[in-house]
Amino acid sequence: MKLATLRTPNGTAAVRVEDDKVVELGFRDVGELLCDGGLSAASADGTEHPLTGSEFAPVVCLPGKIVCVGLNYRNHILEMGRELPEHPTLFAKYADALTGPFDDIALPPESDAVDWEGELALVIGSTVRRARGDEARAAIAGYTVMNDVTMRDFQYRSPQWLQGKTWEASTPLGPHLVTPDELADDAWLRTYVDDVEVQAAPISDLVFDPVALVEYVSTITTLRPGDVIATGTPGGVGHARKPATYLREGATLRTRIDGVGEIVNRVVREAP
């Protein structure tokens, strides 16, 4: 099953995506659907529209939490010159950082080091605390695509990464939430800048897989429907290249995960 959140003349609307059409589900976004109706509500009948011409919003517009994982692909950890971690490295984003899966990404005038980080993100579908095993697995409503666009110069101003990670409207999320059965064990994540492949790795290269992340994060805090966990990025980021390479005005950033979907974002200069 594929769910999405669309922008409409009356606000946003959660929909079920079926081939060339979408079906409205009576909720403002996929996060509200998960909170108030659960995945069972996604099977309801509603007003149908053609998929062509639909404008996608972030699949979850106002998550209560966005928990991100750093250094979670083996190849990325090695390219950054680090050892494999014993525990996940966590940081947070605010909901204001999210933008639509096909929206422009604006280069802020304050940063000259805007980098790409393609990621698999999971969305929580049930309230859990200290979840283990099957409970943690069942708490995952589905998966979506994220790019954790990062202002590296701000990230490394201090040991804390937040200031480089949560710039407003910098993080595309979507286009769909796909239920876990849609994500194959051999799925790959790929990132392209102007059709040049810059990242490619199997999801299986994750050090801490989605279930392990739900277990770990829910030990620290209660996870609730609509919360997002970004699972980390593979090797190939611009900052690790020699010389370092960053996003420039006019570039197109494309992030794709097999069975989940693709987001495409044009890079523009932020309007004054």
* pLDDT, one tens digit for every residue, the chain (272 residues): 999 999 999 999 999 999 999 999 999 999 999 999 999 999 999 999 999 999 999 999 999 999 999 989 988 787 777 888 999 999 999 999 999 999 999 999 999 999 999 999 999 999 999 999 999 999 999 999 999 999 999 999 999 999 999 999 999 999 999 999 999 999 999 999 999 999 999 999 999 999 999 999 999 999 999 999 999 999 999 999 999 999 999 999 999 999 999 999 999 999 87
Distance CA 54, CA 264 (A): 15
In the DSSP assignment, the letter for residue 65 is -
Region for 232 from its dihedrals, namely left if φ exceeds 0, alpha if ψ lies in -120 to 50, beta otherwise: left
Task: Give pLDDT, residue 171.
Answer: 98
Task: Give pLDDT, residue 74.
Answer: 87
Task: Give pLDDT, residue 72.
Answer: 93
Residue pointed to by tokens 């589905």? 142
Residue 63 neighbours by CB under 8 Å, 6+ apart: 31, 95, 98, 123, 226, 227, 228
Distance CA 56, CA 41 (A): 20
Contact 118, 199 (CB under 8 A): yes
Distance CA 136, CA 140 (A): 7
CATH 3.90.850.10 boundaries in the chain? 66-269
Task: Give pLDDT, residue 81.
Answer: 79
CATH of 66-269, one of 1.20.120.1200, 3.30.1330.10, 3.30.70.20, 3.90.850.10: 3.90.850.10
Closest of 74, 82, 65 to residue 31, by C-alpha: 65
**Pairing mode of beta strands 140-147, 118-124:** antiparallel
Task: Give pLDDT, residue 156.
Answer: 96
Q: In terms of DSSP H, where are the helices of the chain?
A: 30-36, 74-79, 134-138, 152-155, 162-165, 210-220
Distance CA 173, CA 63 (A): 12
